[in-house]
Structure 1
Amino acid sequence: MREAATARRERVLATVRERGEVRVAELAAELEVSVVTLRRDVEELARQGKVRRGHGVARSLTSDPPEAARPGTRGGSGGSQGSVGLIVPEHHSYLFEAVRGARAVLEAAGVRMAMHIARHVPGAERDMARQALEQGAAGLLIAPRWRTARAPRLDEDWLCELPVPAVLMERRPAPGTPLHALDSVCSDHAYGAHLALDHLVGLGHRRIVLAARDDSPTARTLRAAFAGFAGERPEIESWTAVLSSRATAPEPPREPVEGSLVDLAPVLREHGATAAVLHADVDALMLVQQLREAGLRVPRDVSVVAYDDVVAALGSPPLTAVAPPKEEIGRVAAELLLSRLNRPRGAAPAPIRRTELLPALKTRGSTAAPPAR
């Protein structure tokens, strides 16, 4: 087994030296092995200092990296000096705070940021990445929409074969998948769920409801972590999780549905709940208004913790919220990308980084001790 791997790596090395640069996917097809196997071979050869590993390519030590992959050079047709492409989905105010953080770091380094907004259609991020590369982007910061749990698999091939360094923002691929080997910077949303529950339990709440979206990696992580923590804490007598609205499901209705927001008051009354965690902010503000119309006062009758903290402070009352470090996500991702771009020629590849930043709890006027039974 070891001899077969050694022989295969010798063939990989010979091919890279002969051609100067080869795409991992193409060479895997030539050698009739999986892309994952060949990627491991390239990583081992790079560790031994025999080849240079790029995103989706392997290069000989004597070949120069492409012009578009060097900061401060003009790549592609009509590209800009030292540009970096940043890809985010449309209508996503949460990620726009990360954009602000990334822009500050890139501009301080003299690198122009070109923003590309992907529509909510399959393949949109891939098309934006292709456009950014054609315009000479030296690297990419990417926050794919990934509305469903299976969506990351549809992006594996093109993300792993990018010819320039790329960093995923606020996205954490599942272990054991090809995307697991991409640089990523993400909030620890499981810790955010812990903060919300710990705050409410500390105030004396024992029956808690989660009304959350289910159409993003953040939402799915939050829902899973809430269920895990709530089920493990002996102080919590009852908990349940519901979808905040039909529009926030992985597969939303094709046409807008009037009154699609969950009717939260009956859910709270059914479970005798005195507290709710609401994801995300805009849904939280609407649900608080809905509770008020149903005769439930916040926080006198029910305490509310919002998740995201984009507009939670603007509520009436201002909502206690879990605040992921959104702007810092962009800053750290940009710094990581710059470190890749500025790595000396011929240097051994740096280890892949998977960075997690902890959210914080912002206590405001929507949480209090539960009413006396």
Structure 2
Amino acid sequence: MREPGEVRRQRILAVVESRGAVKVTDLASELEVSVVTARRDVEELARAGRLRRGHGVARPVTDALEPSTPPPAPPDRPGGPVALVVPERHTYLYEAMDGARAVLAEAGIRIALHIAPQAPGAERPIVERALADGARGLLIAPRWRTAASEAADADWLSRIRVPTVLMERRPRPGGPLHAVDSVCSDHWFGMWLAVEHLTGLGHRRIVLAARDDSPTARALRAAFAGIVADRPGVEDSVVVLSAKDAGADSGETAPESLAALMRERGATAAVLHGDVDALMLVQQLADSGVRVPEDCSVVAYDDVVAALGSTPLTAVSPPKSEVGRVAAALLLERLDGTRASAPGRPRRVELLPELKVRGSTRTVPIV
């Protein structure tokens, strides 16, 4: 599935802001696009004033400041960097990464960014190498495509001897990571917002088309099932895969046609996770003669590029950047030892998503 241009450009910004000057050829290789496409994206971002370009290199805007007027910033603290580990091709978590970067930069702490490939177990050697290179702390969002991969990583992560904060990952109660700090979105509340919005518009038959290859996806599926079960007004609901490659090792298969499934069940609304899959599915609905929102209301979950569709999608927007900022602030407390009470007690922080109503939802049509 080809990435929308805005998603790709957001990834370019995240890489440039975290690493500094980056060759356009390196960006093309990392994003798996042609050099021409990468150069065009860089030129567009430069015209918008979001980065600088020159001689085959993309640079952060902050590099444009004259040496005579340096930006006010605290000096680097002594000690090694903070290792920040996020999965590749994961724009959602790149926003959290950017929030963390801003907090740590203000504190004078350098970030060593590590992008974990999609291979199972990829994070462990990356973290071990970062620690061997002197990292003083760790911010990490493991991919965890399956519950088994989560369990396999929990043991070694729990034994790390530097302050560690999980981002957008919730430790299992009683598991090895139970005593590790974490900051994440309250995805149960996010799904409640979606269902509450749709039922408030009169929808009684709702489909959730969701991935099943991340802790967030699994949390959303469980939340939807529980929420609609407690709603006597919901007459019918079903959970299906949102894409053929979205099921990890679950064995579940995606429906050939979401439009056909919705017609079969008489559904008038759908919640779609995540944004790219949502935009693709809305296009499939349109190709099948199902109009959004006239025939079907749609709520996307993630809100990274949901607003960019031909019909801007109503979306649940988790506090992505704030997750990174709060995680970095919590890590700073650990590094400084300044927590006022119970410095050794782990902290779990959950931040509430919000619903952004756009043009893809409306009152259920009267038949």
Q: Normalising by structure 1, what TM-score?
A: 0.75
CA distance in 2, matches of 1:249, 1:218: 13
Aligned mate of 1:132, from 130, 133, 140: 130
Aligned mate of 1:215, from 213, 216, 221: 213
Aligned to 1:267: 261
Q: Within 5 Å, give how 1:178-193 maps onto structure 2.
A: 178-193=176-191
Q: Give yes or no for contact 1:245–1:262 (8 Å, CA) kept in 2.
A: no
CA shift digits 1:300-357 (9 cap, x unpaired): 0000000000000001110000000000000000000000000169x97331001000
Aligned to 2:366: 372
Query: What SS does the corresponding residue of 2:177 show, helix, strand or coil?
Result: helix
CA shift digits 1:124-155 (9 cap, x unpaired): 11111112112211100000011001222111
Aligned mate of 1:73, from 71, 75, 78: 78
Aligned mate of 2:166, from 152, 165, 168: 168
Aligned residue pairs total: 290
Aligned mate of 1:201, from 188, 199, 219: 199
CA distance in 1, matches of 2:331, 2:113: 15
Shift of 1:73: 2.9
CA distance in 1, matches of 2:183, 2:148: 20
CA distance in 1, matches of 2:328, 2:256: 38
Query: Share of identical aligned residues, percent?
Result: 63
Aligned to 1:155: 153
Aligned mate of 1:288, from 260, 282, 286: 282
CA distance in 2, matches of 1:179, 1:246: 31
Aligned to 2:95: 97
Task: Verify: 1:328 aligned to 2:322, yes or no.
Answer: yes
Query: What SS does the corresponding residue of 1:150 show, helix, strand or coil?
Result: helix
CA distance in 2, matches of 1:273, 1:92: 31
CA shift digits 1:266-299 (9 cap, x unpaired): 1101110000000000000000000000001000
CA distance in 1, matches of 2:342, 2:268: 56
Q: Give yes or no for contact 1:305–1:366 (8 Å, CA) kept in 2.
A: yes
CA distance in 1, matches of 2:279, 2:162: 41
Q: Which amino acid aligns with 2:195?
A: L
Gaps of 5+ in 1: 1-70, 75-81
CA distance in 1, matches of 2:310, 2:174: 45
Q: Give yes or no for contact 1:280–1:307 (8 Å, CA) kept in 2.
A: yes
Q: Give yes or no for contact 1:243–1:262 (8 Å, CA) kept in 2.
A: no
CA distance in 2, matches of 1:139, 1:311: 31
Aligned mate of 1:246, from 241, 244, 247: 244
Q: CA 1:234 to 1:164, structure 2 compared with 1: closer, same or farther past 3 Å?
A: same
CA distance in 1, matches of 2:171, 2:358: 33
Shift of 1:156: 2.0
Query: What SS does the corresponding residue of 1:372 show, helix, strand or coil?
Result: coil
Shift of 1:261: 7.0
**Bigger-Rg structure (1/2):** 1
Query: What SS does the corresponding residue of 1:180 show, helix, strand or coil?
Result: coil
Gaps of 5+ in 2: 1-75
Q: Following TM superposition, where does structure 1 have runs of at least 4 consecutive aligned residues deviating by more than 4 angstroms? A: none
